[in-house]
Amino acid sequence: MKALVYTDTLELQYRDEPEPSVGDGEALVKIEAIGICGSDMHAYHGHDARRVPPLILGHEAVGVVQTGSHRDKRVVLNPLITCGHCNHCLGGRSNLCAERELIGMRRAGAFADYISIPESNLLDIPADMDSITASLTEPAATSLHAIYLAEQALYRPVSECNALILGAGSIGVFAALMLKHKGCGSIFLGDTNALRRATAETANCGTVYDPLGDELPPQGSFDLVIDAVGSGRSRAAASALVAAGGVISHVGLLDNEPGLDTRRLTLDEIAFLGNYTYSVIDLRAAIGLLYCRALGDLAWVESRSLANGAQAFRDIHEGNAAAAKIVLTP
Ligand SMILES: [Zn+2]
Ligand SMILES: [Zn+2]
């Protein structure tokens, strides 16, 4: 089969690879579409010690099952493989399983013609759901999960909140579209990349601004800040812009530099929530929202061929990609 293999820092090769072996309880899936995630970029930059080359990256995938009881079904992959029997797994919070493992990290990912994955990680999708839309399930579920956790910590419903999102990648854009879907009328979205800002504006994500150039929104004015960047600078911005009694939802994982103002968090009773991935229910809910077009026309997503995937990584790396999400098709 053909696969896009991460071979070294800033290097990907589209080449022949052996077809994956299919273990007990696993299925072989023929990939239809697979999105490039910020975490794939992180690996590509050589910054992820957990992703060691040579490795097939990629975890935002949809495909057709080739083997076993799900044969011929179109499915979205739940990329998070978990033990299935610990308290977190049984309690519906499988994302916290101590044995959790993401595909495309130690085991092969989905930038390829085929992948093998446990059958319990297959999620059925409607037969007429197009594959590009379905491939957005994973990032959409990440945003959905973050908002769900934030809703439990917010003092008032999101429809009454001023919301700020830092980062206009797919997580940030989806978060804005979901908050809007929930009736939130005041949404700001900050990104330093002009192309991404233009895309976020066409996607109707609210008030889009440049944190480095434009006049900043007033300090302490947002009940909810979703940090979809996760850098020292974005945490400093979130700490300053969040309102007293508000919530910072931390989703991005760019770096671990200082920036969070724990003194202000304490004095102003600000909740800081870490968010990691999603539960199976979040994935199912995301499929539903995407399928019924609750999140708009998704024209901000671009698709390219897997064979040209290396160029897509390069374009994102150089800041030349306007799309908030690029999806590759084998
Ligand atoms: Zn992802
Ligand atoms: Zn578990």
37 and 153 assigned to the same domain: no
7 and 125 assigned to the same domain: yes
What was the pLDDT predicted at 165? 98
Is 308 inside a domain boundary? yes
114 and 210 assigned to the same domain: no
Terminal CA-CA length for the chain: 10
**306 lies in which domain range?**
2-136+298-329
**CA distance to 29, 59, 70, 122, per residue, from 73 (Å):** 10, 19, 6, 10
Is 16 inside a domain boundary? yes
Cβ burial of 309 (10 Å; 0-12, 13-18, 19+) is buried
User: How many other C-beta atoms lie within 10 A of the C-beta of residue 46?
Assistant: 14
* CA-wise closest residue to 329 among 169, 26, 320, 312: 312
- Give the amino acid at 95: N
Of the three residues 274, 290, 310, the one that is the final residue of a domain is 274
Ligand nearest to the CA of 99: 2
CA distance 231 to 211: 13
User: How many other C-beta atoms lie within 10 A of the C-beta of residue 152?
Assistant: 9
Cα–ligand 1 centroid distance for 40 (angstroms): 8
What was the pLDDT predicted at 198? 95
Q: Which residues lie at CB < 5 A from ion ligand 2?
A: 82-83, 86, 89, 97
Is 200 inside a domain boundary? yes
Cα–ligand 1 centroid distance for 259 (angstroms): 24
The tokens 């839309």 sit on which residue? 133
Cα–ligand 2 centroid distance for 93 (angstroms): 9
Give residue-wise pLDDT tens across range 241-287: 999 999 999 999 999 999 999 999 999 999 999 999 999 999 999 99
- Give the amino acid at 159: S
Cα–ligand 1 centroid distance for 82 (angstroms): 17
Ligand nearest to the CA of 84: 2
Is 98 inside a domain boundary? yes
What was the pLDDT predicted at 140? 98
Cα–ligand 1 centroid distance for 304 (angstroms): 17
Cα–ligand 2 centroid distance for 204 (angstroms): 38
118 and 158 assigned to the same domain: no
Of the three residues 241, 258, 274, the one that is the final residue of a domain is 274
70 and 166 assigned to the same domain: no
262 and 308 assigned to the same domain: no
Q: 170-181 and 194-202 helices cross at what angle (nearest 10)?
A: 30
Cα 12–17–22 angle (5° rounding)? 125
Cα–ligand 2 centroid distance for 99 (angstroms): 6
Is 185 inside a domain boundary? yes
Residue 165's CATH number: 3.40.50.720
Name the DSSP letter for residue 67: S
149 and 209 assigned to the same domain: yes
Regions of the chain where pLDDT drops below 70? none
What was the pLDDT predicted at 200? 95
74 and 17 assigned to the same domain: yes
Is 287 inside a domain boundary? no
DSSP helix, strand, coil percent of the chain (3-state; round to 5): 30, 25, 40
Is 288 inside a domain boundary? no
* CA-wise closest residue to 25 among 118, 127, 111: 118
Residue 48's CATH number: 3.90.180.10
Count of domains forming the chain? 2
Of the three residues 258, 274, 290, the one that is the final residue of a domain is 274
CB 149 within 8 A of CB 99: no
Give residue-wise pLDDT tens across range 9-57: 999 999 999 999 999 999 999 999 999 999 999 999 998 888 999 999 9
244 and 148 assigned to the same domain: yes
Ligand nearest to the CA of 253: 1
Total length of the chain: 330
- Report the predicted TM-score, pTM, of the whole model to 2 decimal places: 0.96
Cα–ligand 2 centroid distance for 184 (angstroms): 35
